[in-house]
């Protein structure tokens, strides 16, 4: 039985702990750590069968029985904790993003290479049943050579302003998943980005130096073109769709709903709204990404989303930010160090 430690038990740390307990039969969560450990979290841990709750994550790194750690703490702690975990010989699953600072990401990449530990990044949408089906259609040649990738990614509500202030901006916090999806579906690297953004939902987001609405066009090295549209607030809920148009056809997926019931009456035709937000929409993908992390450790195989996959969307996000600031297309090579 593989023993796992979870560092940071807020929203996503708890999701991963529950996934392991319910869906990963060959792993258990031995310990959790969070400096703001509450009685409520300790109670929750007990109910999940987790033996130990620390305040200091270093205790997890010192435990020789723990082979894998999940870094689910606040973003500004990911790189430091990952570096220490790698040096302690732990295999690492790190939530997105690795960091907002390129030098610190490169440091993580170097330490991971030197120590040879496994390092997976939490781009869970690759494991979502819909997006996986799109990818399979592309890989199996069903739509031919990809020519246009379209991704719609709109949240149901904007986060609190305090969150916006430390989020690193919409591109590094939210669109980062779409940049990863664009690479995943195209099977190619992004070489140029042209972005337009605005503040249309809440002026406080603008005052905090961020945007809440954006269109980003992408040029890939294989010639394919992409467009991502983002909003922090869609009135009808979490809107998560993608389409790949290619030389032989097109593959697209629509939103998941609680049911596919459509009610038609003399007044009109209505159906269900999309599932509310990421905790409802992406639970299956969160479980599957952790299952595969565990498999990679147990079978000593490659992780499905590696450290480079963690870096690339950050570079695209930085180029998108620069594009807005300078009002021009920006090449990825301009932001790389």
Ligand X SMILES: NC(=O)c1ccc[n+]([C@@H]2O[C@H](COP(=O)([O-])OP(=O)(O)OC[C@H]3O[C@@H](n4cnc5c(N)ncnc54)[C@H](O)[C@@H]3O)[C@@H](O)[C@H]2O)c1
Nearest approach in angstroms of CB 142 to ligand X is 28
Continuous H helices in 213-329: 278-281, 283-298, 307-326
> CA 326, CA 334: separation in Å to the nearest integer?
13
DSSP 44-108: HHHHTT--EEES-THHHHT-TTEEEEEE-S-GGGHHHHHHHHHHTT-EEEEPSPS-S-HHHHHHH
User: Phi/psi at 212 (nearest 5 deg)?
Assistant: -125, 0
Is 17 or 296 the residue whose CB approaches ligand X more closely? Answer: 17
Per CB under 6 A, residues contacting ligand X are 7-13, 33-36, 57, 72-75, 77, 95-96, 122, 124, 278
User: Hey, is 266 helix, strand or coil?
Assistant: coil
- The answer to whether residues 275 and 255 touch, using CB atoms and an 8 Å cutoff, is yes
User: Hey, is 244 helix, strand or coil?
Assistant: strand
- How crowded is residue 172: how many other Cβ atoms within 10 Å of its Cβ? 22
Ranked by CB distance to ligand X, the top (closest) residue is: 10
Nearest approach in angstroms of CB 150 to ligand X is 21
Is 85 or 251 the residue whose CB approaches ligand X more closely? Answer: 85
Nearest approach in angstroms of CB 167 to ligand X is 8
Nearest approach in angstroms of CB 337 to ligand X is 22
- The answer to whether residues 145 and 246 touch, using CB atoms and an 8 Å cutoff, is yes
Nearest approach in angstroms of CB 269 to ligand X is 33
Nearest approach in angstroms of CB 73 to ligand X is 3
- The answer to whether residues 98 and 121 touch, using CB atoms and an 8 Å cutoff, is yes
Is 73 or 323 the residue whose CB approaches ligand X more closely? Answer: 73
Residue with tokens 């739509």: 143
> CA 129, CA 120: separation in Å to the nearest integer?
19
Nearest approach in angstroms of CB 125 to ligand X is 8
Is 74 or 333 the residue whose CB approaches ligand X more closely? Answer: 74
Is 26 or 74 the residue whose CB approaches ligand X more closely? Answer: 74
Is 75 or 91 the residue whose CB approaches ligand X more closely? Answer: 75
Is 8 or 237 the residue whose CB approaches ligand X more closely? Answer: 8
Is 57 or 131 the residue whose CB approaches ligand X more closely? Answer: 57
Please count the helices (runs of H) and the strands (runs of E) in the chain. 13, 15
Residue with tokens 């319910």: 22
Nearest approach in angstroms of CB 8 to ligand X is 3
């Amino acid at each position: 039985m593989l023993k796992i430690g979870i560092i940071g038990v807020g929203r996503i740390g708890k999701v991963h702990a529950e996934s392991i307990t319910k869906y990963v039969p060959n792993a258990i969560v031995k310990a959790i750590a969070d400096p703001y450990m509450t009685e409520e979290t300790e109670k929750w841990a007990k109910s999940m069968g987790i033996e130990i709750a620390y305040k200091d994550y270093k205790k997890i790194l010192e435990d020789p029985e723990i082979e894998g750690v999940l870094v689910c703490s606040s973003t500004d702690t990911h790189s430091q904790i990952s570096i220490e975990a790698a040096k302690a010989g732990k295999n690492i699953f790190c939530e997105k993003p690795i960091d907002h600072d390129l030098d610190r990401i490169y440091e993580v990449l170097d330490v991971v290479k030197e120590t040879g530990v496994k390092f997976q990044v939490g781009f869970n949408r690759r494991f979502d049943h819909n997006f996986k089906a799109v990818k399979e259609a592309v890989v199996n040649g069903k739509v031919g050579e990809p020519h246009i990738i379209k991704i719609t990614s709109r949240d149901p509500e904007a986060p609190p302003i305090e969150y916006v202030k430390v989020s690193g901006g919409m591109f590094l916090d939210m669109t980062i998943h779409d940049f990863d999806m664009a690479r995943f579906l195209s099977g190619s690297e992004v070489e140029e980005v042209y972005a337009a953004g605005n503040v249309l939902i809440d002026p406080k987001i603008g005052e905090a130096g961020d945007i809440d609405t954006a269109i980003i066009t992408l040029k890939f090295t294989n010639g394919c073109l992409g467009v991502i549209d983002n909003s922090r607030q869609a009135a009808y809920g979490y809107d998560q769709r993608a389409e790949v148009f290619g030389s032989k056809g097109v593959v697209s997926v629509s939103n998941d709903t609680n049911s596919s019931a459509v009610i038609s009456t003399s007044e009109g035709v209505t159906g269900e709204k999309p599932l509310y937000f990421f905790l409802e929409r992406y639970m299956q993908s969160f479980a599957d990404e952790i299952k595969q992390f565990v498999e990679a450790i147990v079978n000593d195989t490659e992780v499905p989303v590696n450290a480079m996959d963690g870096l690339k969307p950050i570079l695209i996000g930085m180029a998108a930010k620069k594009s807005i600031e300078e009002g021009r297309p920006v090449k990825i090579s301009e932001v790389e160090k």
